[in-house]
């Protein structure tokens, strides 16, 4: 059998599987950090910053972005390359350990289909580079053990060891025992481990204090794991992947298969000393990692043990080939069954990542699409976290707004000194901003204009106070509540920008609690172009100042500004003076909408999801929504009349009870589309999928209503198209 064409086919398979739908899953926090660090000078990438890992991968990634850019697909492509290289390295290592071509072929197959290695070859982190270097180091060690006089073997050993040490701290835990054995048993190979250790020592001295300080101050509240939980969890994840959770039925089978494979490798280690050396590295790495998590508990510990996983697979697969020298076919059959079993165990988790968005509440693609359609390049996006900057680098097309982190509003590129609009993605899942901190500063210095939910993130828009304003004052007597004075923009407001309106109300003895004020920007024929509804409790005095974002593409011309008051619980408008209209509102004047000098980014494609401006549904909070076309999946979130779609509404609350009903208004005609019980949801989050058929009509408006609350929340408006 010619093995090389088969290995080439396995590499093509691994490359294709890892690169297919590479940008389907949203970026996650650590990938955002990777993208952010690529914008920093080389010396600032790690140690002393937020990134605790050594710098090799980040330096390679920084060079990669110089040519490939910051897109989410291109950012992950470098990991696909490293993941594909694991296949030929496993082949060479398996062939050396077993002494047979079949052993190398089976080891390459096990690495190619392993769900853990597959998944981490599809994200912009070092967890595909480190396993490749671990395989290279192991291969160099096996080669050098039998031919220590070869300069090529010594250079290969030194290079992979040094690169591994500068890629991940846990690589040192895995390499420690093999390096000590080499020092004691192979004098000719000593320089190949001593020199990399000496070159690594300056980094340890410089970065070690920051690493220990960061490990000792982690705030995730992880608890140390007992030995069974640690080692069984490791085998479970190594065999079935991280997508296979605690209740995954294939996880137990994966643990049994890996345990059997490594047991065979231990039995046969006496016949192949190289096997014993690598087993010692695995054991020491896992034991030291267990000890570290007792002192510094952390999550994702299996990810940190990524150097050991491809070596574990290779040892388990090739060990059985040496178990029964007289029964070669029996050993080959056992190894083949082990590889086939591991492939079946990992398939469910692997396939899930192709089909289902595993982090919908953390998906910034809808947020970035909204920002791209409404923010201008002269605007400023102020971020609380470095990973948010990374997300926007990947998802926002050029020219993008300026991205500011760390948020220092009193120095440098201050959002309070620039006469432009500021966007603030307030991430809420880690405790949130609660209106304080930077959000409080922005609210005190600028004018709030929008507050939209996208999953776990609120996107707030702030506009600078108008330097050119027209002031008005209502003269004459009148009983409270009454309009006292107001101001409107004196200069034209470009489409896509924000009109800042100030209104002073005289309430007299009327309690302000439960009252809301509204301001509408409308056409001559009463079509509302922009609106703001705010609670008077949010403002300490009688003045309220609101921003009215004028939608991109609004035709130039004169628009009327109306204002009024209403009760939040009933929606009843109050009669205000002086001179109210029959619908209990007051005309403040007109605002001129002009043609923008700087065009915004293109608008949303038809049918894109825009979260509702109203963020509460009774005691629940609407986090966001997704729309999936079941009839025509290729259309994504676009649809036509008659299509069956699934609407996924994401809610947050302290308790979930009652029934949620989805209602529609099609060209103004109401209808009920379906309902779901909330009893199956558990705090703090709930995802409700409702399927329905798109009614025929030009305008579709969706509302969500709770059975015990009369108020509903608008989910969005769409124009079904072909």
- Whether the CB-CB separation of 664 and 615 falls below 8 Å is answered with no
Residues forming a β-bridge with 522: 528, 560
Nearest to 462, CA basis, from 551, 373, 381 = 381
Q: What is the structure's pLDDT at 418?
A: 62
Q: For 257, which DSSP code?
A: H
165 vs 197: CA distance, rounded Å: 9
657 vs 441: CA distance, rounded Å: 37
Highest mean pLDDT: which of 69-78, 242-251, 352-361, 635-644? 69-78
| 411 and 345 inside one domain | no
Q: Vertex 60, ends 58 and 64: CA angle to 5°? A: 110
Q: What is the structure's pLDDT at 620?
A: 82
161 vs 191: CA distance, rounded Å: 12
- CATH, residue 366: 3.40.190
Q: What is the structure's pLDDT at 619?
A: 80
Between 280 and 684, where is the model more confident? 280
Q: Which range marks the domain in which residue 251 is found?
A: 3-355
| 377 and 477 inside one domain | no
pLDDT in tens, 110-144: 999 999 999 999 999 999 999 999 999 999 999 99
Strands (E), 508-556: 515-522, 528-535, 543-549
**Is 475 a member of any domain?**
yes
- Which residues touch 623 (CB under 8 Å, ≥6 apart)? 361, 453, 455, 456, 650, 651, 652, 685
Q: What percent of the chain has pLDDT over 90?
A: 36
**Is 650 a member of any domain?**
yes
Q: What percent of the chain has pLDDT over 70?
A: 86
pLDDT in tens, 314-365: 998 887 776 655 456 667 787 888 889 989 988 888 888 888 888 877 889 9
| 408 and 440 inside one domain | yes
508 vs 510: CA distance, rounded Å: 6
| pLDDT interval class at 609 (50, 70, 90) | very low
Nearest to 97, CA basis, from 306, 286, 335 = 335
**For residue 681, which phi and psi values (nearest 5 degrees)?**
-95, 150
Q: Is 624 left (phi over 0), alpha (psi -120 to 50) or beta?
A: left
| 82 and 215 inside one domain | yes
| 196 and 125 inside one domain | yes
pLDDT over 80 at 245, yes or no: no
Half-sphere exposure of 123 (CA within 13 A, CB side): 20
| pLDDT interval class at 617 (50, 70, 90) | confident
| pLDDT interval class at 157 (50, 70, 90) | very high
| 78 and 135 inside one domain | yes
pLDDT in tens, 545-583: 999 999 888 889 999 999 999 887 777 888 887 676 788
Q: What is the structure's pLDDT at 94?
A: 92
- CATH, residue 682: 2.60.40.1490
pLDDT over 90 at 413, yes or no: no
The count of structural domains within the chain is 4
**Is 450 a member of any domain?**
yes
466 vs 499: CA distance, rounded Å: 8
Q: What is the structure's pLDDT at 338?
A: 86
Two structure tokens written together for 87: 């296949």
Average pLDDT of the residues in 666-686 = 78
Two structure tokens written together for 41: 């000078």
| pLDDT interval class at 604 (50, 70, 90) | very low
**Is 606 a member of any domain?**
no
Nearest to 56, CA basis, from 136, 153, 162, 149 = 162
- Of 532, 562, 594, the position where a domain reaches its end is 594
| 347 and 377 inside one domain | no
pLDDT over 70 at 202, yes or no: yes
Q: For 358, which DSSP code?
A: S
**Is 609 a member of any domain?**
no
Cα distances (angstroms) measured from residue 334 to each of 24, 102, 107, 337 = 36, 12, 13, 5
| 441 and 585 inside one domain | no
476: burial class by Cβ within 10 Å (0-12, 13-18, 19+)? exposed
214 vs 228: CA distance, rounded Å: 27
| CB neighbour burial string for 314-337, b if at least 16 within 10 angstroms, e if fewer | bbbbbbbbbbeeeeeeebbebbbe
395 vs 387: CA distance, rounded Å: 12
- Of 448, 463, 478, the position where a domain reaches its end is 463
Between 360 and 27, where is the model more confident? 27
**Is 299 a member of any domain?**
yes
Q: What is the structure's pLDDT at 189?
A: 92
Nearest to 316, CA basis, from 341, 291, 286 = 341
| 20 and 36 inside one domain | yes
pLDDT over 90 at 716, yes or no: no
701 vs 572: CA distance, rounded Å: 22
| 576 and 636 inside one domain | no
Q: Are strands 380-382 and 422-427 parallel, antiparallel or unpaired?
A: parallel
Q: What is the structure's pLDDT at 430?
A: 53
Q: What is the structure's pLDDT at 73?
A: 94
- Whether the CB-CB separation of 268 and 323 falls below 8 Å is answered with yes
| pLDDT interval class at 688 (50, 70, 90) | confident
Two structure tokens written together for 584: 């209990």
Residues in the chain: 722
Nearest to 502, CA basis, from 537, 534, 458, 454 = 534
User: For 99-148, where are the alpha helices, taking DSSP H only?
Assistant: 101-113, 115-120, 129-146
**Is 410 a member of any domain?**
yes
pLDDT over 50 at 92, yes or no: yes
- CATH, residue 580: 2.60.40.2550
700 vs 504: CA distance, rounded Å: 36
Residues forming a β-bridge with 471: 487
Q: What is the structure's pLDDT at 613?
A: 45
| 152 and 101 inside one domain | yes
Q: For 573, which DSSP code?
A: B
- Whether the CB-CB separation of 42 and 59 falls below 8 Å is answered with yes
DSSP string for residues in 456-467: TEEEEEEEPPPS
Could you tell me the strand order of the sheet in which 543-549 lies? 469-473, 482-489, 498-506, 543-549
pLDDT over 60 at 252, yes or no: yes
- Of 405, 432, 463, the position where a domain reaches its end is 463
Among the listed ranges 2-11, 436-445, 661-670, 703-712, which one has the minimum average pLDDT value? 703-712
Q: Find how far residue 510's CA is from the centre of its chain.
A: 47
| pLDDT interval class at 665 (50, 70, 90) | confident
| 370 and 458 inside one domain | yes
Mean pLDDT of the chain: 83
**Is 124 a member of any domain?**
yes
Between 488 and 262, where is the model more confident? 488
Average pLDDT of the residues in 77-84 = 97
């Amino acid at each position: 059998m010619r093995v090389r064409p088969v290995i080439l086919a396995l590499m093509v398979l691994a490359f294709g599987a890892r690169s297919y739908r590479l940008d389907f899953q949203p970026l996650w926090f650590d990938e955002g950090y990777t993208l952010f660090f690529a914008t920093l000078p080389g010396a600032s990438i790690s140690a002393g910053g937020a990134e605790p890992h050594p710098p090799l991968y980040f330096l390679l990634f920084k060079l990669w972005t110089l040519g490939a850019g910051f897109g989410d697909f291109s950012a992950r492509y470098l990991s696909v390359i490293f993941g594909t290289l694991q296949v030929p390295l496993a082949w060479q290592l398996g062939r050396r350990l077993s002494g047979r071509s079949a052993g190398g072929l089976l080891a390459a197959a096990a690495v190619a289909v392993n769900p853990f290695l597959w998944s981490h070859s599809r994200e912009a982190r070092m967890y595909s580079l480190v396993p490749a270097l671990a395989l290279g180091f192991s291969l160099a060690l096996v080669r050098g053990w039998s031919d220590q006089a070869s300069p090529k073997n010594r250079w290969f050993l030194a290079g992979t060891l040094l690169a591994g040490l500068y890629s991940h701290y846990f690589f040192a835990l895995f390499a420690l025992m093999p390096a000590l054995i080499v020092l004691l048993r192979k004098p000719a190979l000593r320089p190949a481990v001593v020199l990399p250790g000496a070159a690594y020592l300056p980094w340890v001295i410089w970065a070690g204090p920051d690493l220990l300080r960061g490990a000792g101050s982690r705030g995730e509240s992880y608890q140390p794991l007992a030995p069974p939980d640690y080692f069984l969890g490791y085998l479970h994840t190594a065999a079935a992947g991280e997508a296979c959770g605690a209740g995954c039925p294939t996880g137990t089978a994966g643990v049994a298969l890996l345990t059997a494979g490594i047991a065979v490798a231990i039995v046969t280690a006496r016949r192949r000393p190289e096997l014993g050396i690598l087993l010692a590295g695995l054991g020491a790495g896992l034991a030291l990692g267990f000890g570290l998590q007792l002192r510094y508990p952390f999550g994702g510990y299996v990810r940190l043990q990524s150097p050991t996983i491809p070596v574990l697979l290779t040892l388990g697969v090739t060990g059985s080939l040496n178990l029964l020298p007289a029964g070669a076919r029996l050993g080959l059959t056992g190894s083949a069954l082990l590889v086939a079993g591991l492939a079946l165990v990992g398939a469910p988790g692997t396939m899930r990542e192709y089909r289902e968005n595993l982090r919908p509440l953390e998906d910034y693609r809808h947020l970035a699409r909204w920002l791209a359609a409404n923010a201008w390049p002269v605007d400023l996006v102020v971020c609380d976290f470095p990973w948010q900057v990374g997300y926007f680098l990947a998802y926002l097309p050029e020219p993008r707004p300026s991205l500011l982190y760390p948020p220092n509003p009193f120095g440098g590129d201050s959002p309070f000194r620039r006469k432009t609009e500021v966007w603030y993605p307030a991430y809420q899942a880690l405790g949130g901003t609660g209106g304080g901190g930077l959000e409080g500063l922005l609210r005190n210095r600028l004018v709030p204009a929008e507050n939209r939910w996208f999953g776990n993130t609120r996107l707030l828009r702030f506009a600078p106070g108008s330097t050119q304003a027209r002031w008005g004052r209502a003269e004459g007597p009148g009983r409270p509540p009454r309009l006292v004075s107001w101001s409107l923009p004196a200069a034209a407001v470009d489409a896509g920008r924000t009109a800042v309106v100030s209104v002073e109300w005289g309430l007299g003895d009327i309690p302000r609690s439960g009252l809301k004020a509204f301001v509408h920007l409308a056409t001559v024929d009463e079509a509302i172009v922009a609106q703001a509804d705010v609670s008077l409790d949010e403002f300490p005095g009688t003045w309220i100042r609101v921003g009215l974002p004028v939608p991109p593409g609004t035709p130039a011309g004169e628009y009327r500004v109306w204002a009024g008051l209403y009760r939040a619980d009933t929606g009843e408008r109050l009669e205000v003076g002086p001179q109210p209209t029959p619908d209990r509102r007051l005309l403040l004047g007109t605002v001129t909408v002009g043609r923008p000098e700087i065009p915004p980014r293109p608008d949303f494609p038809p049918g894109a999801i825009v979260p509702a401006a109203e963020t509460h549904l009774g005691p629940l909070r609407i986090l966001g929504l997704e729309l999936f076309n079941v009839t025509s999946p290729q259309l994504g979130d676009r649809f036509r009349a008659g299509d069956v779609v699934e609407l996924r509404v994401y809610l947050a609350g302290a308790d979930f009870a009652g029934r949620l009903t989805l209602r529609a208004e099609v060209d103004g005609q109401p209808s009920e589309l379906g309902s779901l019980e909330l009893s199956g949801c558990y705090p703090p989050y709930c995802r409700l999928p409702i399927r329905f058929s798109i009614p025929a009509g030009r305008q579709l408006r969706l509302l969500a209503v709770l059975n015990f609350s009369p108020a509903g929340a608008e989910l969005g408006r769409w124009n079904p198209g072909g």
